[in-house]
Amino acid sequence: MTADRPPPPLHGGGYLGPWDLVPVTFEGGPLDGEVNDQDYTENENREQVGETWDYTPASVDSTADDVIERYRLDWRDGRWFYVHVGTFERPVEDRNFDAVFVGGPRGGERTTFVGNMRQRPEHATSLYPGYVLRHVGDDPATGWEMRPINSEGA
């Protein structure tokens, strides 16, 4: 968005008011042509103009490339857009990862967690009561285990 083209008036665009959800069209990249009409109000968009949003296809589809598709929020031609600004490699520590159940009734099974579970391992216990997520080794991509609570190493 440029300084000479302000965002729409608060009650513009045919919407009832500044707190109604507004559509944002994706332009370019893998989401080209899709419309997000479920997340942001006009006021929220006005506050976020120029900010970027990262879409990670692998967080939705485990077979997708582990990359970041970056979009920037823009206002032009009387509409909101997320404009594709590039594709970037997703850092290893943000990628989805597998954990192996070690012991207990699920011993030997595998599960996949989203990348941010590394920073919130206690959430794994809420998903799998009786187990705790542990990491063995220095590689953030491997060495993840789900161990029964109160077992050795857990």
For 1-29, what is each residue's pLDDT tens digit?
Answer: 444 444 544 444 554 566 788 899 999 99
Contacts of 5 (CB under 8 A, 6+ apart): 75, 76
* pLDDT for position 124: 92
* Type and span of the H or E element at 127: helix 122-127
pTM for the complete prediction?
A: 0.60
Ramachandran area for residue 76 (φ above 0: left; ψ -120 to 50: alpha; else beta): beta
Report domain extents, the chain. Answer: 24-89, 92-148
* Type and span of the H or E element at 35: strand 35-36
What Cα–Cα distance (Å) separates residue 132 from each residue in 68, 110, 112?
A: 29, 14, 14
* pLDDT for position 152: 60
What CA–CA distance (Å, rounded) separates 35 from 131?
Answer: 40
Cβ neighbourhood burial of 30 (10 Å; 0-12, 13-18, 19+): middle
Strands lying side by side in the sheet with 79-89 = 35-36, 24-27, 79-89, 67-76, 52-55
Quote the percentage of the chain above a pLDDT of 90: 46
140 pLDDT above the threshold of 90: no
* pLDDT for position 61: 74
90 pLDDT above the threshold of 80: yes
Do 114 and 122 touch, CB atoms closer than 8 A? no
For strands 67-76 and 52-55, give the pairing.
antiparallel
Summarised one tens digit per residue, pLDDT across range 105-129 is 999 999 999 888 998 999 999 999 9
Does residue 80 sit in helix, strand or coil? Answer: strand
b/e 85-115 (16+ beta carbons within 10 angstroms → b) = eeeeebeeebbbbebebbbbebeeeebebeb
